[in-house]
Amino acid sequence: MTRRRWIADEVSATHAAITGAHADHLIRVLRARVGQEFDIATGAVVHRGRIVTIKEGRVEFELGEEVSTSSAVALTLLLAVFKFDRMEWAIEKCTELGVTRIVPVIARRTDAHLASAAAKRAERWRRIALQAAEQSRRITPPEIVDPIKLPDAVTLTASSRIVLAESEQETLLRAIVTSHSAVEIVLAIGPEGGWTQEELELFQTAGWISASLGNTILRAETAAIAATAITISELS
C-alpha cells in the first residue's frame, strides 16, 4: 500500500514535524493517531516516519529508513498572471505534473486589478502548491517567487528558454524539447489574449525560442498544463 507523503516544516537529526494548518488537516481530517506511518520529505531526502506526538497544530514524527525517490526535471514556468481562480488551478495541476519553479509575471495584458493584487496572492499560491505536492507524492513543492514584471522575467537564465506564442506557425514545443539536451528549461506562458507583439520582440531580443502547442487557441491555464505535461513527458 502506498503511504501518503508529507513535507516537513521542521527537521532535526532523527525527528520531523508538520505544524499549523498543515498539521490540523492531518489531525482533524485524516484523524491521525500515534504510531501511524507516513513518508516524510525532509528536503532532498524522504524517510519513513512514525507519529510519536500529536498536539494542537503540531504532529511530530520519528524518522526511520530512507525511501528511494526519482529525480525531478528542472522546469521553470514563467506564468503571466491571469484570473486568479483559473491561475490557482493551473498552479495546482502543474505542481502535480512536476514543475520545479513558478514565476508569476505581470504582462501588458494582465488586468490592472489582478496586477495590483498579485503580490498578496503569492502566499496562497505557495499553500496550494504545497498541498498539491504532497498529494502527488513530491519531495518538495515548486518554488513560487513573488510576481515580477516581464522585462525582469526575460533575463532568467537556463540552458533552454522557450516562449509559447500563438503567432508561431512552424515550430512545435515537443520538437524543441526533444532536440535539446537541456539541463534546465524555462517555459513562458502568456496571459489571456496572449503576449503582445512588443513582448514577443522582447523575448526574441533576449534570445528566447518561440514555440507552438498546435493549431488551436488554448486558454492560459490549459496552455500551462499542456506545455508542462509535454515537457515533463519528453524529459523524464
pLDDT of residue 184: 86
Higher-pLDDT residue of 86 and 44 is 86
CATH number of 74-235: 3.40.1280.10
pLDDT of residue 42: 87
Nearest to 104 by CA among 79, 123, 139: 79
pLDDT of residue 206: 96
5-67 has CATH 2.40.240.20 classification: yes
Is residue 1 pLDDT above 60, yes or no?
no
Is residue 4 pLDDT above 60, yes or no?
yes
Higher-pLDDT residue of 179 and 192 is 192
Is residue 217 pLDDT above 90, yes or no?
no
Give the range among 40-44, 81-85, 151-155 with minimum mean pLDDT.
Answer: 40-44
pLDDT, the chain, mean: 91
Nearest to 105 by CA among 85, 143, 144, 79: 79
pLDDT of residue 90: 97
Domain locations in the chain as residue ranges? 5-67, 74-235
**CB atoms < 10 A from the CB of 202, how many?**
17
Is residue 71 pLDDT above 70, yes or no?
no
- Please state the rounded mean pLDDT for residues 58-66: 92
Cell numbers found for residue 26: 492531518
- Please state the rounded mean pLDDT for residues 172-179: 88
Cell numbers found for residue 95: 505542481
With a pLDDT cut of 70, the percent of the chain lying above it is 96
Compute the chain's Rg from CA coordinates: 20
Between CA 38 and CA 153 the distance in angstroms is 38
pLDDT of residue 181: 66
Model-wide pTM > 0.85: no
